[in-house]
Amino acid sequence: MAEETTPKNATEEQAAAKPAKAKKEKPPAVEDKPFSEFMEQHFNPALKEALGKEGIEEIELNLVKEKLPIASSGSQECWQLKGNWDNGKRQFNLYFIDESIKGQKAFSYSTNGGKPSTIESFMIDERKITLDLMVMYTIQRLNSQKWLTRN
């Protein structure tokens, strides 16, 4: 008995001849970029936009490497995002002790150009740090001072 063969149509033959498409590599997440690039190009603009939505239009954000403003820190320097508005009456600092958004972070605030009275830990329970979470926690922390909205 002869085997019956059915001819393949042209599209099946073409599909079999084509190699599988290589998967496109995802670009790295913005959070994986170098620290200063992430801060200057992504975090600062996102934070300014979020604060603008809260009614704070004229805010200065500066990323600087300076000593911690507490006596017991000695000469330890770390990256700090310094923010101020309302003609310098309201200031806050985000401290990045390890020069990484995934490392230790702290927060402080002060008014009228004074030194911060305390430095508090910031985002210590988060396993994954994202741009949106950093902005949200910063806004939340400023709002807890009643600087953005009143009760």
Q: Mean per-residue pLDDT for 127-139?
A: 92
Tell me the pTM.
0.75
The arithmetic mean of pLDDT across residues 11-40, rounded, is: 74
Rg of the chain on CA atoms, in Å: 26
Share of the chain above pLDDT 70, in %: 80
Instruction: Please report which confidence band the pLDDT of residue 7 belongs to, taking 50, 70 and 90 as the band edges.
Output: low
Highest-scoring range by mean pLDDT, 32-36, 134-138, 140-144: 134-138
Q: Which residue has the higher pLDDT, 93 or 87?
A: 93
Contacts of 70 (CB under 8 A, 6+ apart): 119
